[in-house]
Structure 1
Amino acid sequence: MLRIETLTKRFGDKTAVDAANIAVERPTMIGIIGRSGAGKSTLLRMLNRLSDATEGTITFEGEEVSSLRGAAKRDWQSRCAMIFQQFNLVPRMDVVSNVLHGTLNKRSTMATMFNLYPQADIHRAIEILDRLGIAEQAPKRAEALSGGQQQRVAIARALMQDPKIILADEPIASLDPMNAQVVMQSLRTIHEEDGRMVIANLHTLDTARRYCDRVIGMRDGRIVFDGTPAQLTTGAARDIYGAGADFSEDATSTQIETLDRPEVRKAKALV
């Protein structure tokens, strides 16, 4: 279904992603973990074609998307939706209009300029918001919502594209633990109910184990782990994070009950 072969991205003399190979045979939920600077975000940006690969190919359902240009590239980006850490909403615009921006690739320039949307699209946007538990926020400005609510609006906007793949780049990094769990459960439900592939960059081992079917670990641009959550042992995590024997999984935890312990705060400083 999705095949990434020797995918490489260089910035000058720095290699951000080094010959990545990933094969996905069916829609699944994948977590990509690793330290900051490991190449996770660059990998997703190449998948979405926000950034071009230096070498290698990306193939989806038999089509080489890494070589697409112009309208074909924009069509791919509508089938491969992107969710960002900072939400990328229009703060002063109401929530439902932000969600409707997910249809921009399919609308005329004139309709976009005058903010004109078919009634069916408006109804669908509200239905998606209702599915995510925030339909009552539809008339409010996006800036009036909490971080967790704004991220769910960003997910709703992605769903308006009706994508085959949803890419989530650190979707919970700026959220508190409770909102992080709500957002991750929303992505998991979308995967299970819609049969969409979800690939999420994550910092936390417990989140990857809890919500993902498959975990990929990156270190210094290279894939150093690719397996099931059960195979993500503490030893494997040490290798992914380049940590020594003093590495503690609590350092990457989003579990509310562990976050306030002094030893956890100290461990986080090591990651």
Structure 2
Amino acid sequence: MLSIDALTKTFGRNTAVDKVSFTVEKPAMIGIIGRSGAGKSTLLRMINRLTDASSGQIMFEGREVTGLKAAEKRAWQSDCAMIFQQFNLVPRMDVVSNVLHGTLNRRSTLATMFNLYPDADIHRAIEILDRLGIADHAPKRAEALSGGQQQRVAIARALMQDPKIVLADEPIASLDPMNAQLVMDDLRRIHEEDGRTVIANLHTLDTARRYCNRVIGMLHGRVVFDGTPEQLTTGVARDIYGADASFSEESTSTSIETLDRGTVRALREAEAAV
């Protein structure tokens, strides 16, 4: 499905990503972990083609991605949606319009200039927001929402692209534990219910173990671990983070609370009532 072969990115004399290779043969929920500067964000940006690789190859369903240009590159970026840590919404624009921006790659320049959207796209945007529990916030400005709600708007925008792959770059790094759980629950449901591959850069071990069925560890731009959450022992984590025996997993914990479905549903209903 997705094949990364010796993917490398250099900035002058510095190598941010060093000959990374891995294959995703079927839809999966993959967490990429590692300390700051390990190359995680650069790797995702290369996969999405926001950043060009210095060398190496990306293949998806038999299509060579690294050499795509113009319209073909934009088509790939629709198939491979990106979610950012800082949401990248238009703060003064209403929520549903932000979600509809997920269709920009397939709309004409004229329609984009005049902010014209087909009724079918508007209805679909509302349906996606409803699925994520924030449809009642559709007419509000994005800046009026909490951080967790804004991140779910960003997820809705990505789903408007109907992507085959969702890339999430530190999606919960700026969220409190409760909102972190809501966002990660949504990403996991997108993988399980839609059959989409989700690749998320995560800075915490507990989140990777809880939500991902595959974990990739990076250190100094290289893959140093690729396995199951069960194989991610404290010793392995110590190697991934380049730490000594004093390493404590608590320093990489989100303290995400384990809330049952009823509690999560009540939280979403409370949000909608605000």
TM-score by length of 1: 0.94
Whole-Å separation in 2 of the counterparts to 1:234 and 1:226: 15
Provide the C-alpha distance between the structure 1 equivalents of 2:201 and 2:114, rounded to a whole number of angstroms: 36
Question: What percentage of residue pairs aligned between the two structures are identical?
Answer: 81
1:180–1:75 CA distance, 2 compared to 1 (3 A)? same
Which residue number in structure 1 is paired with residue 99 of structure 2? 99
- Show the counterpart of 2:50: 50
1:45-85, Cα deviation, whole Å (9 max, x unpaired): 00000011111000000111011111101100010000000
Question: Which letter maps to 1:253?
Answer: S
Question: Offset at 1:165?
Answer: 0.2
Cα offsets for 1:151-207 (capped at 9, x unmatched): 000000000000000000000000001100100000000000000000000000000
| Counterpart Cα distance in 2 of 1:107 and 1:66 | 24
SS at match of 2:66: helix
- Tell me the amino acid that sits aligned with residue 17 of structure 1: V
Unaligned runs of 5+ in 1: 258-271
Q: Which residue of 2 aligns with 1:68?
A: 68
Instruction: Report if the CA contact (8 A) 2:191-2:198 is conserved.
Output: yes
Q: 1:31 is matched with which residue?
A: 31
1:121-140 aligned at under 5 Å gives the runs 121-140=121-140
The residue identity in structure 2 corresponding to 1:137 is H
Report the equivalent of 2:108. 108
Are 1:241 and 2:210 matched, yes or no? Answer: no
Deviations 1:82-108 (A, max 9, x none): 000000000000000000000001111
Structure 1 consecutive aligned stretches of length 4 or more whose deviation exceeds 4 Å: none
Q: 1:17-63, CA deviations, whole angstroms, 9 ceiling, x for partnerless residues?
A: 00001111001010000000000000000000001111100000011
- Asked if 1 retains the 8 angstrom alpha-carbon contact of 2:3 and 2:23, the reply is yes
| CA displacement at 1:256 relative to structure 2 | 5.0
Q: What letter matches 2:103 in structure 1?
A: T
The answer on whether the counterparts of 2:203 and 2:252 sit within 8 Å (CA) in structure 1 is: yes
CA-based RMSD of the aligned residues comes to: 0.7
DSSP 3-state at the match of 1:51? coil
How does the TM-score come out when normalised to structure 2? 0.93
CA distance, structure 2, for counterparts of residue 125 and residue 71 of structure 1: 24
